[in-house]
Structure 1
Amino acid sequence: MMKMVVCIKQVPMVSELPWDPATGTLQRDLAEGMMNPACRSALDAALRIKETAGGEITAITMGPPMAEEVLREAIALGADRGILLTDRKMAGADTSVTSHTLARAIERACQGFDLVLCGCSTSDSETAQVGPQLAEELDIPGVAYVDEIELSRGAVRMRRISDHFLETLEMDLPGIVTVTTGHYAPRHVPLGGLQAAFTGAQIDSLDAEAVGLDPERIGARGSATKIRNVFSPTAGKKNIVLTGAPKRIVEQLFDLFDDKIGGAIGKDLKTDKNSK
């Protein structure tokens, strides 16, 4: 039986990203959370494999206690069980430490896994680093930015668009795949799934001690990278009013934006104008 692990993350709604200016980390308890879109695609990829070939899906997430919500959502959609890694000592982890923590938890709680699936990136940070780093931590092959995946004689066959080329790859198992949002569409939660998620769901909550983690290698304490500054960019705008006859307005437009127009049409308008 195929044993799949899907790493999912609860992220804040895009409209509300409350940062702590002192630590440079997200204040996740102050924002309404949702399942990261690419993680939802990874879950859907696992569900399709389960529907066609059978198997077991374990959803795993790391975060505050409220992150249990996305595990229940995953179970409602068809995952078999959930694992919540939650401990204040894990807070503030960079991507390397996050991958280390997830890898140790997968080794301990998901022994004998065949395939790990992750979203290609998360909407709250967009680093796209955890999946490849997790492959390194688990010492298994990995392929990133996969659009479509299917089983093929004890291996997985994948398709992805890379630099305008369609690549077809095959990987032996166990392995890890990070999934894009291009092919897999979000599915609706069935009523029976909701009942299963809140009545008989198996969700194990593990802290650092339960996983056997070294306190010096987790959370902000174990992270080699630190966020120096977080800010929201502001885009300044100003209105420009052009007056005169149409010909004069066109001349003013070229005077103001000739570099941009030239770049769009592939001509150096200044040189072209001076040569006439």
Structure 2
Amino acid sequence: MEIIVCIKQVPGTTEVEIDEETGVLKRDGIEAKMNPYDLYAIEIAVRIKEDKGAKVTAITMGPQQAIVVLREAFMMGADETVLLTDRRFAGADVLATSYALAQGIKRLPNNVDLIICGKMTTDGDTAQVGPEIAEFIGVPHISNVLNILEIKERSIVVEMDMGHTIEIAEVNFPCLITVEKGINQPRLPSFKRRLETESKEISVLSLNDFEDQDEKRYGLNGSPTQVKRIFPPETNTNRELWKGSSQELSDRLVNKLMEMKFVQEESGWQR
């Protein structure tokens, strides 16, 4: 069984500069970590490997520094890793990112049975990349997976969050799933695995290795959505300290909430 896990390196801090011209994050030189949702995706893949037997390949798109999260994937149990890196990939929105990852997956030597993605990334929160990869590759997909119920010879049975209901679905291989936090408890990177894999080769692919080398499909050129404005949230540390009886304080609190328009006084309502 061949399993692909899509992972991403995301900023490990909120102190990130924005490129005013392109509206994208300046990722070079900042503290970074593996996207938290992707830890759960790797854990699911490794558990399937341990239970059923499988080969797990982690793939990411990013600059050379993204090798760090691929090394972490090795330490968690991945067998192979792939880095998609090319300056022409820079500034990609979810569509261009999904297309590049789909092209990279198609470039892998073996047929894929299962692709696992974290539900979303903490620097984008779109939850669109996984399903779009599936559409570009042409395989069925299930999002918001809460639990893996059964892995059969030709299909997988999962429990998925549909917002107001929890449903069970079965989908045939090859397919793609995106997993929620809480689906498992990700293991810590193994120091033993680190020693075993520290010299293991990481495959590196660029646009020149893809079947589709049309530069208009990648990076900023292939991104139909553009960020108009991005900024850190404003912080307010102002505070007031009130003293008085419980009745005085409750009246003052209600008046303050109405003044700030969080609540409004209804006709005939008495405090």
Q: TM-score, normalised by structure 1?
A: 0.89
Secondary structure, aligned partner of 2:198:
helix
Write out per-residue CA displacement over residues 147-203 of structure 1, whole angstroms, 9 at most, x where no aligned residue. 22241242111113333532211111100000111122121122221012212x231
How much has 1:258 moved relative to structure 2? 5.3
Aligned pairs for 1:179-190 (under 5 A) are 179-190=179-190
Of residues 14-23 and 44-53 in structure 1, the stretch that sits farther from structure 2 once superposed is 14-23
Measure how far apart 1:24 and its partner are. 1.3
The 1:115/1:259 distance shift into structure 2, 3 A limit, reads farther
- Describe the SS at the equivalent of 1:232: coil
Q: Are 1:147 and 1:180, in contact at CA under 8 Å, matched by a contact in 2?
A: yes
Contact 1:147 1:158 in 2 (8 A): yes
Shift of 1:250: 2.8
CA contact (8 A) 1:96 1:223 kept: yes
Q: Take 2:239 and 2:268, find their aligned partners in 1: how far apart are those partners?
A: 29
**2:111 matched to which residue of 1?**
112
Task: Name the CA shift for 1:13/1:271 in 2 (closer, same or farther; >3 Å).
Answer: same
Q: State how 1:161-240 maps to structure 2 within 5 Å.
A: 161-199=161-199, 201-212=200-211, 213-236=213-236, 238-240=238-240
Q: Which residue of 2 aligns with 1:144?
A: 143
Residue in 2 that maps onto 1:83: 82
- 8 Å Cα contact 1:6/1:58 also seen in 2: yes
Check whether the contact 1:89–1:208 (CA below 8 A) recurs between aligned residues. Answer: yes
Equivalent in 260, 266, 269 of residue 270 of structure 1: 266
**Residues 43 and 177 (structure 1 numbering): CA distance in 2 closer, same or farther, change over 3 Å?**
same
Q: Is the 8 A contact 1:41 1:180 kept in 2?
A: yes
Letter in 2 for 1:270: E
Q: Deviations over 1:197-254 (max 9, x none)?
A: 212x231111100123211211111211111111112143543454555433332222
- CA RMSD, Structure 1 to Structure 2 (Å): 2.3
CA distance in 2 between partners of 1:262 and 1:22 (Å): 37
Structure 1 residue aligned with 2:52: 53
Per the alignment, residue 65 of structure 1 pairs with: 64
Distance 1:152 1:238, change over 3 A: same
Q: Residue 93 of structure 1 contacts residue 218 of structure 1 at CA under 8 Å; is this kept in 2?
A: yes
Contact 2:117 2:179 (C-alpha < 8 Å) held by counterparts: yes
Shift in alpha-carbon separation, 1:81–1:252, aligned structure 2, 3 A: same
Runs of 4+ in 1 over 3 A off after TM superposition: 235-249, 258-263
Could you tell me the percent identity over the aligned residues? 36
Q: Which moved more, 1:164-173 or 1:57-66?
A: 164-173
Contact residue 75 and residue 196 of structure 1 kept, 8 A: no
Secondary structure in 1 matching 2:267: helix
Q: Is the 8 A contact 1:259 1:269 kept in 2?
A: no
Contact 1:59 1:81 survives alignment (8 Å): yes
Aligned to 1:247: 247
Q: What is the aligned partner in structure 2 of residue 8 from structure 1? A: 7
**What is the alpha-carbon distance in structure 2 between the residues aligned to residue 190 and residue 41 of structure 1?**
16
What secondary structure is seen at the aligned counterpart in 2 of 1:177?
strand
Distance 1:216 1:269 in 2: 56
SS of 1:251 mapped into structure 2: helix
Greater shift, 70-79 or 54-63, is seen at: 70-79
User: 1: CA distance between counterparts of 2:122 and 2:167?
Assistant: 25
Per-residue CA distance 1:21-57 (angstroms, 9 max, x = gap)? 2321111112122111111111110001000000101
Moved more, 101-110 or 237-246: 237-246
Displacement after TM superposition at 1:256 (Å): 2.4
Question: What SS class does the counterpart of residue 102 from structure 1 fall into?
Answer: helix
Uncovered stretches (5+) of structure 2, i.e. residues with no partner: none
Q: 1:110 to 1:145 in 2, by over 3 A?
A: farther
